[in-house]
Amino acid sequence: MDLNWYVLQTKPKQEDRVEAWLNFAKIEVFNPKIQEVRLINGKKKKIAVPLFPCYVFAKLHPGLFDIVVYTRGVRKILGINGRPKPIKESIIETIRERLNGDAHIYMSESYFDSVAVKPGDYVLVVDGPLKGFIGIVDKVNSLKSIVILISMDYQVKAEVHNFLLKKIEPDVLE
How would you class 71 by CB atoms within 10 Å of its CB: exposed for 0-12, middle for 13-18, buried for 19 or more? buried
pTM for the model stands at 0.64
Residue 76 has phi, psi (to 5 degrees) of -170, 170
Rounded CA gap, 97 and 173, in Å?
25
**Mean pLDDT to the nearest integer, 34-42:** 70
pLDDT tier for residue 63 given thresholds of 50, 70 and 90: very high
Please name each of the domains of the chain with its CATH number.
4-106 (3.30.70.940), 112-167 (2.30.30.30)
- The band of 96, judged by pLDDT with boundaries at 50, 70 and 90, is confident
Predicted local confidence at residue 105, as pLDDT: 63
Evaluate whether 124 touches 134 at the Cβ level (below 8 Å).
yes
Are 18 and 29 spatial neighbours (Cβ–Cβ below 8 Å)? yes
pLDDT surpassing 50 at residue 110: no
